[in-house]
Structure 1
């Protein structure tokens, strides 16, 4: 009995020791929570950026943009920074296991832990972190030294990339100069699946139908995707972040593994979320608060450029298509034709057309032939293995000519994207038509049209989004909606001996013109329209000629039987004759062949003179011929960019 009493006593003492240890731990956590509250850590910018908090729309509280429940350690953590901070302290101190990450809290929430240790003045491993071997291996593999912002330019053929894209590049401290392709890229994108495309993809992207996630990829994979497959030029902006800021950003990336956001194409998109990452690195930047309604990649780059000393001189990487076009322009027409035939394996390497060329010319033709075939291989993944073998054969033939490449490097564009015009445009103009003068006002949130200053934008690409036109009626002085361009896209892709792209345009929204002019005895009602079609373009960045086939649908309550279908064509020329001057001449016709009867024919000359970086003078004079009347229409006004 005495022995059993001794054992019971030891057990009781052990239990008491555990209870006392738990009580001490609870007391320590409570003390830390009290100290954190006293210092206002939950209200600090650094804590709020780590949890991605932003103000509610009505300004009454906060919410996090993170959609994953596992990211929050408190039940109310999504909307309560203080509760989340207290729960984080408790989870770190107790070694709470995080389901889904297969790690304890101290090894998952690295950036949170380091912030709390630093802000509370604790020893390095007071809140854990000593056993996080997986994190240390991951970080050693990255070996982060510098961060760069990467901007692949606009790609109008893809709904998700029509405004461009942004991502970050993490350069390793072990990398030698000129080895950027071996770095890692931080990308935020919709997890839409490989089969997501077309209108369904665009609709889900606009309405938050996809989750958005951060991903870490070898940088060469992203360059291959953007510069070699999608044929988009890429700009790299080194960021002047110090060591501590870089460490915070990288630690937070570890925390974001598998974390979902609600992805919105126009608002919570790649550019917005990368700004939120840079706020983690330097919370006082307060970048995301400027983008409550929409975030256009080019605008976010200019926001970063406005921060003194943050962005360094950008580096330009031309796409495969840009490089190939530049090289092909240095050949004459016969040499370009020969290069195309060599790529198609229609001419032998010992053919006189090739062998009689001087060595430098032969080398140039072979290089263009190889690069052109490689371009096709990247654009057409289903190409036969024989095509790859032929590309290797061309490369081998080129290696037999002991001459350096005869081509000069692709020049860097004079205006980088951060120096282009702002995308929000406000215009006021005087309009003359039908022997009346009226005042016109336009507000366009985004993005760029062919008469805006082209510097920093994709040549031949026009995208207008939610472009609202207002008119003061000359008869009664009332302000009315004249039209609303929901979306207008024009892509002019010039054709030459090697490239045969199809240009296109699409324009949809609400309008009064030309309906009220085109159809006899029709009220001037606002109605829906959809217009566009395929086309061809020729020329270069200074002079582009084009022709389009057009189809048109007008749905309007004033029409009989409520709609009209038209078909026709347009042709024009876009020219930049002098710096700060853009000209566009166009003529076209539409014949309405179903629904209400009518026709519309036009010819017009438009110009813009850039008065300053944020101001332009635009004018238009044209002739219109309709079933109702014919006459001159003239417009002159100012365009201001914000």
Structure 2
């Protein structure tokens, strides 16, 4: 008993020391900082990925793309990785409290702390962090098992989405098979609030008028936004990350809560910052180094696909509109009309036109009617209560037909976005015009036009950005700028019994035509132009016919009043007769009704033969008629994509 009486207090003391060890064991801060310096941890790719450092524009130093002050624990931490590392160690050792996060530095910067603990050979809680209850609850709610890259396809009708979008999905270890809608999505976007629309949004996004932030959302919300409301197909690519890499990425997301970044629509956008997250998971990837000038979602997907073993086979989720069009095409014209009338509550469920159909056909009509009504509800929720009640009534009528749906699933496109052509295009061509032969060179940074290989892109959608045309006259040897397309958009949205969309086109930049070729006694100067208008399109993915009303404005120093305003129309056909061939035939006319006098009429046949994913042979044969002269114009050349 005497022995236990002596040992008991000692055992109680030792147990107390063990329990309190993480808080009480002394840590030599100077020794840790010296050890970190010996290993050059501040220069390691993982540390610089965690702080989002990148090279300055001239390459002489570093800066972080983060603009939030509290994210940096050193006064000059945004530009000095070593100073930030020393300050981070000091914050952990001294138990620094982050007021903006209402928690300690050790519980705020989980990924940083775990990186330093591992590289300095410390015990798990030597730098604190053993009492991070909020983080533990957040982590348990996510229960991350796998990360997937998500790509909603391009949506030309929105300036912020004309190039597509990327986000990440965190699949839970508790998720059952085929229940990815219950996962969480990681999205990076401009913090625009109610200002996220129109030309003002596009301008601020281009010029850095917004900050960018990461957000964590239930995945079904993002699917509803992209696939159901914006009617964009969605591709999902599982990423083959190890458990340790997945943990690092998720821990860093916790650190990103409330952190703001410099945001630019063309450079520091969603795709760039998601690449930076993957660099946190696997620093040796160095993915962002390829995107100093601009980052396009489709290109960044292909960059990830180029890393051996990183990206798995994609899964395709069609949008509500894609699904509805696919199902409606399996009905005949009378059945589509009946479905539209049922959706509009113009036909009763006991109408002979419906009851006279076979059970399978009646079920199909009711399914299309419901989905069409739901589509309208998502597109225009003004009549939500009445439409929702009628949608439920259609579902009840469908439920009384005891047959499964006979519609086949929507087939995935033959080419996924990661297998599509690159967006930087360089073209060389021979040009015959006015009995002269010259050489042409075009350079287009982005993105896709109607004659490019359509595989992996949205059919009927064209976006050309900063497309520069140069010409060399072999006789004179003079190089000149022919034109510069700042932005060219064409959206051909086919109409049918259910859908009545308006197509549109917009084209602006610098050009020499119309000038000397259209207006009499005018120098062939470069001038600004703006042209476009609404239109209608009909057909399918393989054959589209379209008409447009056009308005045109030219501002050119060579014009007698300095400008010319025109109005007119165009019509054409776009064909995809084979996977290796695209054809477009177009005719149109512009009459200049104000400013300088003139007219311009044209007819063109353009075709591209795909010689591979990133190489094509394009030719164009056209006739042009102006107030000055008429003649033929022909070009033929190679298109290479990088």
TM-score by length of 2: 0.96
1:536–1:547 CA contact under 8 A, matched in 2: yes
Deviation sequence 1:542-594 (CA, Å, 0-9, x none): 00000000000000000010000000000000001122100000000000000
Deviation of 1:516 after TM superposition, in Å, equals: 2.0
2:472 counterpart residue number: 472
1:377-526 matched pairs, under 5 angstroms: 377-473=377-473, 476-526=476-526
1:460–1:541 CA contact under 8 A, matched in 2: yes
What's the secondary structure of 1:308's corresponding residue?
coil
What's the secondary structure of 1:205's corresponding residue?
helix
State yes or no: 1:575 paired with 2:578: no
Deviation sequence 1:283-323 (CA, Å, 0-9, x none): 00000000000000000000000000000000000000000
Deviation of 1:476 after TM superposition, in Å, equals: 2.3
Deviation of 1:27 after TM superposition, in Å, equals: 7.3
1:282 counterpart residue number: 282
Within 2, Cα distance between the matches of 1:180 and 1:516?
A: 60
Deviation of 1:625 after TM superposition, in Å, equals: 0.1
2:492–2:537 CA contact under 8 A, matched in 1: yes
Within 1, Cα distance between the matches of 2:340 and 2:613?
A: 42
Deviation sequence 1:176-228 (CA, Å, 0-9, x none): 11000000000000010124321111100000000100000000000000000
Within 2, Cα distance between the matches of 1:440 and 1:80?
A: 47
1:319 counterpart residue number: 319
Within 2, Cα distance between the matches of 1:322 and 1:641?
A: 28
1:482–1:512 CA contact under 8 A, matched in 2: yes
1:632 counterpart residue number: 632
Within 1, Cα distance between the matches of 2:84 and 2:197?
A: 38
Deviation sequence 1:65-124 (CA, Å, 0-9, x none): 001011000001000000000000000011100011000000000000000000000000
TM-score by length of 1: 0.96
2:617 counterpart residue number: 617
1:18 counterpart residue number: none
Within 2, Cα distance between the matches of 1:384 and 1:42?
A: 56
1:238 counterpart residue number: 238
2:36 counterpart residue number: 36
Q: CA RMSD in A?
A: 1.0
What's the secondary structure of 2:382's corresponding residue?
coil
State yes or no: 1:601 paired with 2:570: no
Deviation of 1:515 after TM superposition, in Å, equals: 2.0
1:246–1:281 CA contact under 8 A, matched in 2: yes
2:46 counterpart residue number: 46
What's the secondary structure of 1:382's corresponding residue?
helix
Deviation of 1:25 after TM superposition, in Å, equals: 9.1
Deviation sequence 1:399-451 (CA, Å, 0-9, x none): 00011101111001100000000000000000001110010000000000000
1:71-110 matched pairs, under 5 angstroms: 71-110=71-110
Within 1, Cα distance between the matches of 2:152 and 2:109?
A: 31
2:150–2:166 CA contact under 8 A, matched in 1: yes
Deviation of 1:229 after TM superposition, in Å, equals: 0.1
Deviation of 1:613 after TM superposition, in Å, equals: 1.7
Within 1, Cα distance between the matches of 2:429 and 2:357?
A: 58
1:186 counterpart residue number: 186
Within 2, Cα distance between the matches of 1:537 and 1:66?
A: 45
What's the secondary structure of 1:401's corresponding residue?
coil
Deviation sequence 1:611-630 (CA, Å, 0-9, x none): 11211000000100000000
| Residue 25 to residue 596, structure 1, CA distance change in 2 (3 Å) | farther
Within 1, Cα distance between the matches of 2:306 and 2:27?
A: 47
Within 2, Cα distance between the matches of 1:516 and 1:67?
A: 51
What's the secondary structure of 2:113's corresponding residue?
helix
What's the secondary structure of 2:177's corresponding residue?
coil
Within 1, Cα distance between the matches of 2:384 and 2:82?
A: 60
What's the secondary structure of 1:516's corresponding residue?
coil
Within 2, Cα distance between the matches of 1:281 and 1:471?
A: 47
1:532–1:552 CA contact under 8 A, matched in 2: yes
What's the secondary structure of 2:36's corresponding residue?
helix
2:27–2:93 CA contact under 8 A, matched in 1: no
2:195–2:201 CA contact under 8 A, matched in 1: no
2:201 counterpart residue number: 201
1:554–1:563 CA contact under 8 A, matched in 2: yes
1:300-339 matched pairs, under 5 angstroms: 300-339=300-339
Within 1, Cα distance between the matches of 2:84 and 2:599?
A: 65
Gaps of 5+ in 1: 1-23
Within 1, Cα distance between the matches of 2:195 and 2:133?
A: 38
State yes or no: 1:66 paired with 2:66: yes
| Residue 102 to residue 27, structure 1, CA distance change in 2 (3 Å) | closer
1:15 counterpart residue number: none
1:152-191 matched pairs, under 5 angstroms: 152-191=152-191
Within 1, Cα distance between the matches of 2:427 and 2:626?
A: 27
1:291-306 matched pairs, under 5 angstroms: 291-306=291-306
1:5 counterpart residue number: none
2:533–2:549 CA contact under 8 A, matched in 1: yes
What's the secondary structure of 2:376's corresponding residue?
helix
Deviation sequence 1:346-395 (CA, Å, 0-9, x none): 00000111010000000000000000000000111212411110000000
Deviation sequence 1:206-261 (CA, Å, 0-9, x none): 00000100000000000000000000000000000000000000000000000001
1:436–1:474 CA contact under 8 A, matched in 2: no
Within 2, Cα distance between the matches of 1:456 and 1:514?
A: 35
Within 1, Cα distance between the matches of 2:144 and 2:611?
A: 44
Within 2, Cα distance between the matches of 1:406 and 1:271?
A: 39
Within 2, Cα distance between the matches of 1:516 and 1:155?
A: 37
Q: Which runs of 4+ in 1 moved over 3 A?
A: 24-27
2:518–2:599 CA contact under 8 A, matched in 1: yes
Within 1, Cα distance between the matches of 2:514 and 2:594?
A: 16
2:582–2:608 CA contact under 8 A, matched in 1: yes
1:96–1:105 CA contact under 8 A, matched in 2: yes
1:245–1:281 CA contact under 8 A, matched in 2: yes
Within 2, Cα distance between the matches of 1:490 and 1:598?
A: 26
2:146–2:241 CA contact under 8 A, matched in 1: yes
Within 2, Cα distance between the matches of 1:391 and 1:418?
A: 38
What's the secondary structure of 2:155's corresponding residue?
coil
What's the secondary structure of 1:370's corresponding residue?
helix
Deviation of 1:26 after TM superposition, in Å, equals: 9.2
